[in-house]
Amino acid sequence: MAILTASISSGQVTLFVAFLWSVLAYLFSEYLHLTRPPRRDEDEEARTSEADKLLPNGDAKPAASGNGAAAGGGSPADDSSHSSGKAYGAHNSMLESMASSGLVSCLLLKRSALLQHRLVLRQVVEFGLLMLWYFLADRTTIVPEGEKSYSRDVFVFIFVVLTSVAVGSSIRTFKMPLLLNRPQTEEWKGWMQVLFLLYHYFEAKEVYNAIRIFIAAYVWMTGFGNFSYYYKTGDFCIGRFAQMLWRLNFLVFFTCVMLRNSYMLYYICPMHTIFTVFVYVALAIAPQLNTNHGWLFVKILLCFAFIFVTWDLKPVFYAIWSPLKFLLGYSDPRNPTDDVLHEWYFRSGLDRYIWVYGMLCALMHPTAAAILKFIDELPAIRRYTVRTIVLAACGVAGYVYYITIYCKPKYEYNQVHPYTSWIPITLWIIVRNMTPNLRIYSLRLYGWLGCITLETYISQFHIWMKTDVPDGQPKSLLVLIPGYPLLNFALVSGLYVLVSHRLFDLTNGLKNVAVPHSNNAMLLRNVILMAVSSVALWSCVAALYTTAGKLF
Ligand SMILES: *[C@@H]1O[C@H](CO)[C@@H](O)[C@H](O)[C@H]1NC(C)=O
């Protein structure tokens, strides 16, 4: 019986080589850390760090103090920016800066660099181990698999229990009754994500239409959150934008290489990436117009028009995206297709307008908040009357929406989804924010889950369910306790959420090291370094790989 379910690619070997090197470098750095010369106590730190600076050419000592700073500050990026920031003056070339970078020094196993970046190396190794778990769980027969089975009772039961726990133990308050405040949107993401995941796990086909609305709501939040940010801050800095792209694509990139999957298997990632870019571009072009509501409104209308031309006219869509087939193409191995762009057309098409609506809502946000405040300050009787009328209107609208649109069968529903998903989203926002108390309180448990949606989304395919083969859909479940589906669900879910949370922390930790927020020269340097070193390693491995393939 074969253990592997598919052959191994050169990309996978490259990752493995990089991982082995990191393990080596990390263990060496721990060894150096343990065996460094005996030093001062913690409380002497302040006094001796003064002396460290005076040490003329000390190798181990300054590095060790930098290391202490990394442990304390938790942001090793600062270290590298200090050490290379000085070197990266006007009279120093890019090449010198590269040679002195943490990546190169660690590659060369320089002792001082290893000591200084020990904690970063630890993060890299932990990330590698979690990727290895992805691989072992999904692509080998070591962990058995089970079949999905749906019971509405179990599905609803789990959600009710989780919500009860959240209500009973994790209500938190926000300082101001702000319309759509951050904890509230995180809570919103969290409970939608839970339902979205349970829908996959149990294959709860009957809630398909609701899940489509949830995905639309995420895309809505992308438009809303990003627009609000650029509108309020006018901060179009490349560093921050690059950090956002890293956050969205770091895990998915390594997952794709590790498991030989297409980017489009995780369609949420390209979709959010492209709409994030659109919002950025819409506001970063002619930013001086962003102070004027009228002009912003024109920009939003132009976005609608742009989407109409580039998505609704199918030939235009295919013409634009065909060159990117290698990135956005997808064909399900169990159900192959010739039209590899169809998946991208279908998925992105479902939510093509809702991010623009999110921008519109962000633009209207101050007005809506003022209306809410006006209602809150009415005398009691009138206040309750107005709220009752608004809620009743929402109820009627929701009911009409439910029977005329929501209840349509899957395929008919998908036809109208792009033009109607704004209705339930708007109704939910109104109801959820009707009174100041509703706005102040939110559920922290769901908020917590709402922060790691990207990681739970990607992990679900491989360490909660199983896809078995490259580009496969997660058709079966990961089984650690055979014969006890619910116990297994509990154990595997616990592990899965834990791993997802670690991946979230690691993505952010490594982001802070690799993507400087406000140093564009260093950002460029790091991008070049990462690209060159990974391509170089991959080329070597690929060359050896083909040679070996010919030999055997
Ligand atoms: C912009 O959208 C992306 C994708 O949803 C998200 O990760 C990011 O946090 C958003 N930025 C802001 C400022 O809300």
Our answer on whether the CB atom of 229 is closer than 6 Å to any ligand 1 atom is: yes
Task: Give the number of other Cβ atoms within 10 Å of residue 13's Cβ.
Answer: 17
Q: How far is CA 300 from CA 156, 184, 290, 359, 360, in A?
A: 39, 25, 11, 7, 7
pLDDT of residue 41: 54
Our answer on whether the CB atom of 222 is closer than 6 Å to any ligand 1 atom is: yes
pLDDT of residue 523: 95
Tokens in use for 388?
């009752």
Determine contact, residues 442/167, Cβ cutoff 8 Å: no
Ligand 1 atom closest to Cα of residue 272: 4
Question: Which of 180, 218, 233, 244 most suits a substitution to test ligand 1, by most atoms within 8 Å of the C-beta?
Answer: 244
Q: State in Å: Cα 410 to ligand 1 middle.
A: 29
Q: State in Å: Cα 133 to ligand 1 middle.
A: 28
**Each residue's pLDDT tens digit in the chain (552 positions)?**
568 878 889 999 999 999 999 999 999 999 999 998 876 555 444 444 433 433 333 333 333 333 333 333 333 333 343 444 444 444 467 788 887 788 888 888 889 999 999 999 999 999 999 999 999 999 999 999 999 999 999 999 999 999 999 999 999 999 899 999 999 999 999 999 999 999 999 999 999 999 999 999 999 999 999 999 999 999 999 999 999 999 999 999 999 999 999 999 999 999 999 999 999 999 999 999 999 999 999 999 999 999 999 999 999 999 999 999 999 999 999 999 999 999 999 999 999 999 999 999 999 999 999 999 999 999 999 999 999 999 999 999 999 999 999 999 999 999 999 999 999 999 999 999 999 999 999 999 999 999 999 999 999 999 999 999 999 999 999 999 999 999 999 999 999 999 999 999 999 999 999 999 999 999 999 999 999 999 999 999 999 888 887 776
Our answer on whether the CB atom of 244 is closer than 6 Å to any ligand 1 atom is: yes
Residue 417 per-residue DSSP state: H
Determine contact, residues 525/239, Cβ cutoff 8 Å: no
| CA–CA separation, 40 and 38 (whole Å) | 7
C-alpha R_g of the chain: 26
Residues 6+ apart with CB under 8 A from 361: 220, 223, 224, 368, 426, 429
Question: Which of 222, 280, 348, 453 most suits a substitution to test ligand 1, by most atoms within 8 Å of the C-beta?
Answer: 222
Residues 6+ apart with CB under 8 A from 194: 159, 162, 446, 449
Q: How many Å separate Cα 175 from the centre of its chain?
A: 27
* For ligand 1, atom 13: residue with the closest CA: 226
Q: State in Å: Cα 273 to ligand 1 middle.
A: 9
Q: Of 366, 368, 433, 426, which Cα lies nearest the Cα of 401?
A: 426
Q: State in Å: Cα 298 to ligand 1 middle.
A: 23
3-state helix, strand, coil in the chain (%, to 5): 75, 5, 20
pLDDT of residue 40: 58
Our answer on whether the CB atom of 225 is closer than 6 Å to any ligand 1 atom is: yes
Our answer on whether the CB atom of 454 is closer than 6 Å to any ligand 1 atom is: no
| CA–CA separation, 193 and 201 (whole Å) | 12
Identify residue 227 by its one-letter amino acid code: F
Residue carrying the six token digits 């993401």: 189
Whole-model pTM: value is 0.89
3-state secondary structure of 441: strand
Identify residue 80 by its one-letter amino acid code: S
Determine contact, residues 134/256, Cβ cutoff 8 Å: no
Determine contact, residues 387/435, Cβ cutoff 8 Å: yes
